[in-house]
Amino acid sequence: MVLDEAALDARGPERVEAFSDGVFSIAITLLVLEIQLPNLGENPSPEALITALGSLWPSYVGYVVSFLTIGNAWINHHNLFRLVGRVSHGLLISNLLLLMAVGFLPFPTALLADTLGKPGEQVGVVVYAGTFVFASIMFNVLWAAVKKVLRPGAPRSAIEAINRSYLLGPPISIAALVIAFVNPTLGIVVIGGLMVLYLLPRASGT
């Protein structure tokens, strides 16, 4: 249902942020449910347990990469909404579509963890990179909606920094997708490396 433009104008983004924070924090916390020990019978020996814990390494990789991905997406979302002056219908919808990508991430993460180091590895990495492509496009759609409802006094430098950064998102994630088709291991390294790079403080330090 869409209300009057005038009525919408009066709305601040606080509840949109609260709802989004909920989705981000749940998606990031659900990731741990994908880490599961294989069934080892009633009383496994310590050695069997240690071997099983070791064999879960793809799950640990998936947990860390996806935790950093969703955490980084949240930081981006946080920075974006600092610039929002009022809530438009376009903002609500594009935000919902971005959250749909974020909320979906536990599935490709589980697939990645199930396939790393196995014959289906390429399928797992391609699906994972594909979700990335979708999310990076959705971030640009959301950004286009935010730019129509900027708050007065939103710093020009922040807008330009986001412009630059977001334009790079889709080509880089599409590149990771293409690389995954050629060499899945390299594809996941590119995605993991991107995450670390994004999370590093700038040269000036903070």
Residue numbers 44-83 binding a copy of itself by CB under 8 A: 44-46, 48-50, 53, 63-64, 67-68, 71, 74-76, 78-79, 81-82
Return the residues of window 125-154 that contact a copy of itself according to CB under 8 A.
127
Burial class (CB in 10 A: 0-12, 13-18, 19+), 182: exposed
Q: Which of 144, 158, 178, 186 binds a copy of itself (CB under 8 A)?
A: 158
Q: Which of 54, 152, 157, 182 binds a copy of itself (CB under 8 A)?
A: 157
CB atoms within 10 A of CB 54: 9
Q: Which stretch binds a copy of itself (CB under 8 A): 31-39, 172-180, 186-194?
A: 31-39
Which one, of 73, 68, 65, lies nearest residue 101 by Cα? Answer: 73
Q: Which of 17, 141, 185, 192 binds a copy of itself (CB under 8 A)?
A: 17
CB of 175 to a copy of itself, least distance (A): 18
> What are 84's strand-pairing partners?
150
112 binds a copy of itself (CB under 8 A): no
Return the residues of window 175-204 that contact a copy of itself according to CB under 8 A.
198-199, 201-202, 204
Return the residues of window 78-107 that contact a copy of itself according to CB under 8 A.
78-79, 81-82, 88-90, 92-93, 96, 99-100, 103-107
CB of 181 to a copy of itself, least distance (A): 12
Residue 134 CB contacts under 8 Å (≥ 6 apart), including other chains: 101
Applying CB under 8 A, the site for a copy of itself has a residue count of 88
Q: How far is CA 65 from CA 39, 49, 167, in A?
A: 25, 24, 22
CB of 8 to a copy of itself, least distance (A): 7
Q: What is the distance between the alpha carbons of residues 63 and 120, in angstroms, rounded to a whole number?
A: 19
CB of 25 to a copy of itself, least distance (A): 3
Q: What is the distance between the alpha carbons of residues 67 and 28, in angstroms, rounded to a whole number?
A: 6
Closest to a copy of itself by CB, 44 vs 85, is: 44
CB of 191 to a copy of itself, least distance (A): 16
**What b/e string do you get for 152-162 counting C-beta neighbours within 10 Å, with b at 16 or more?**
eeeeeeeeeeb
| 8 A C-beta contact, residue 27 and residue 71 | no
Q: What is the distance between the alpha carbons of residues 162 and 204, in angstroms, rounded to a whole number?
A: 18
